[in-house]
Structure 1
């Protein structure tokens, strides 16, 4: 049975502290944090920060302004610093198994985000900082992180899960996405950052910039390698020792994408291959944490973004370049239908 879902569109220009405070005020009236806390409770022992000072020291070197955003969140929510870092730091957290598929052309990236709807927080964000760092558009996860996105330089990023076994001390995927988009101007800077930072789990990070160069960075807590590629699902090509035992589904999906995208003549046809279930890439396996929740498309040269929730939908089109020039978007919510019966955490 199809049920309606939505993401709220959030726009902000200002300092990181003020953005954090603004989000904190919104969260006080939202069901996101209470719902997420209930979901985390059975696994609570795995969610505490092991070393708060280590996180602060690493973030001070990498991206100190995000610490100010977390401080603003804490102040608005009346939250102790340790709890705010646990909630919003994207460090030492566990990650639910997910799918995800990404295809890049020379001038666009299209991405299916596959996961479990119960953890999806339903926030599509525009943020233009005034105190440093690049402006970013894209859906959020754990408030401060980004599931995928594009920055004002035209660097686009997504991530695909490989596994969470043999985890290490480090950042999880959505905070890594934010660090890339806020701090890197192109794929080369993004690749260098991915080599530098500690990784909690094993993920691939496809990246594309206006040059048309597309890399997939395979990252685990032990090793990071880079390959030039335009298709990515849920297995590594180089770090084979990090792959899960069963790879039939992810390799089959990769093959379907490669085969079908050969006949795509433009970005819209590529988008339809990912978003129309008839092509065998879009998934409705939500209970297995592998159902497609949204399809994103980013255009690095034009600075435009498309976004759709659920299958076989026309995308909402955002002109990020115009937004960067000061023109707010009028869309308040992005709505769609999923074959699932429980709400996102933002829906009460």
Structure 2
């Protein structure tokens, strides 16, 4: 039986005209779920602001502008992404020069389901999570970035990775620039990032306990370099999916079929969308079985689509 999910496309400009605030306030109960209940203290909020100022100074004014629109005592702490809860997710992705294709696998009711066009520091289009973080996205310079969970249950001080994706797209024009930035940013959990520009594609393993480490190729599922425990493989099929995406390449049709398309929605491991980024062309198409939705910098169309999940093509 399929699961219904509504995806929404919104424009928020530079965050200063009220559109972002209106949207975020309307979705606050589900957005605020990401704020770790054990870190809702003034001390954690202050440390989050300090960490943000040290590592993402270019976005401080933007974050404060957005926090003022939330008008909540914990809004600014939330937007630092330094006090987020952890979660286990799936996902498979592959990059090539000028192209990034990914499946996002998670619980339907925990995915924001928002495609956003913003101009905080520069034009960016991406799939939003937790208000202003991004699961994947591209900028007007032709850089695209996407994330997957790295599969290891480690946690340390640093940022939740959707904000790191946002920061890289706001401040970098090339894969090389983004790799340099990644070396300086603390990330709180094990994650895999695939980065693409017109000439280069690379996957990097990051986490609180490892330096950024380039993978053998621009592919990622939900493990890093260590062997995958058999129980984890049975649940996530991460090794199987990585082998499959390497074999099929950047093929949307393959992403919409098993083993890459997952249907364990009740266990939080079902495919919610396939995104095909062509950043050098400034366009992205979100795919579901039997349906697709294209957006671009030249023709971004706000609206909504309700799709049925779970019936692979």
Task: Give the TM-score, by structure 1 length.
Answer: 0.80
1:126 pairs with 2:117: yes
1:89–1:144 contact (8 Å) kept in structure 2: no
2:44–2:83 contact (8 Å) kept in structure 1: no
Q: Give the superposition deviation at 1:139.
A: 1.1
CA deviations 1:44-65 (Å, max 9, x no partner) are 2256575333332332244335
Over 6 Å off, 4+ runs: none
1:258 pairs with 2:246: yes
Residue 274 of structure 1 corresponds to which residue in structure 2?
A: 255
CA deviations 1:74-96 (Å, max 9, x no partner) are 3223223xx11332221131221
1:102–1:232 contact (8 Å) kept in structure 2: yes
Higher strand share goes to which structure?
2
Residue 232 of structure 1 corresponds to which residue in structure 2?
A: 220
1:59 pairs with 2:52: yes
Residue 269 of structure 2 corresponds to which residue in structure 1?
A: 290
Residues 1-348 of structure 1 aligned to structure 2 (within 5 Å)? 1-14=1-14, 16=15, 18=16, 21-28=18-25, 30=26, 32-37=27-32, 39=33, 44-45=37-38, 51-80=44-73, 83-129=74-120, 133-163=121-151, 165-211=153-199, 213-223=200-210, 224-227=212-215, 229-237=217-225, 240=226, 246=231, 248=233, 249-261=237-249, 270-275=251-256, 277=257, 279-308=258-287, 310=288, 312-320=289-297, 322-323=298-299, 329-339=300-310
- The Cα RMSD (Å) is 2.5
Residue 345 of structure 1 corresponds to which residue in structure 2?
A: none
Change over 3 Å in CA distance of 1:171–1:75 after alignment to 2: same
In 1, Cα distance between the equivalents of 2:132 and 2:41?
17
Q: Give the superposition deviation at 1:156.
A: 0.6
In 2, Cα distance between the equivalents of 1:177 and 1:250?
22
In 2, Cα distance between the equivalents of 1:227 and 1:339?
30
Task: Give the TM-score, by structure 2 length.
Answer: 0.88
Change over 3 Å in CA distance of 1:153–1:244 after alignment to 2: farther
In 2, Cα distance between the equivalents of 1:48 and 1:209?
40
Higher helix share goes to which structure?
1
In 1, Cα distance between the equivalents of 2:117 and 2:45?
29
In 2, Cα distance between the equivalents of 1:244 and 1:94?
24
1:137–1:149 contact (8 Å) kept in structure 2: yes
1:95–1:164 contact (8 Å) kept in structure 2: no
Q: Give the superposition deviation at 1:40.
A: 6.1
Residue 344 of structure 1 corresponds to which residue in structure 2?
A: none
1:92–1:200 contact (8 Å) kept in structure 2: no
Q: Give the superposition deviation at 1:163.
A: 3.6
Change over 3 Å in CA distance of 1:46–1:244 after alignment to 2: farther
In 2, Cα distance between the equivalents of 1:8 and 1:215?
29
In 2, Cα distance between the equivalents of 1:77 and 1:331?
22
Can you give the 5+ residue segments of structure 2 that lack an aligned partner in the other structure? none
Change over 3 Å in CA distance of 1:108–1:71 after alignment to 2: same
Can you give the 5+ residue segments of structure 1 that lack an aligned partner in the other structure? 262-266, 324-328, 341-348
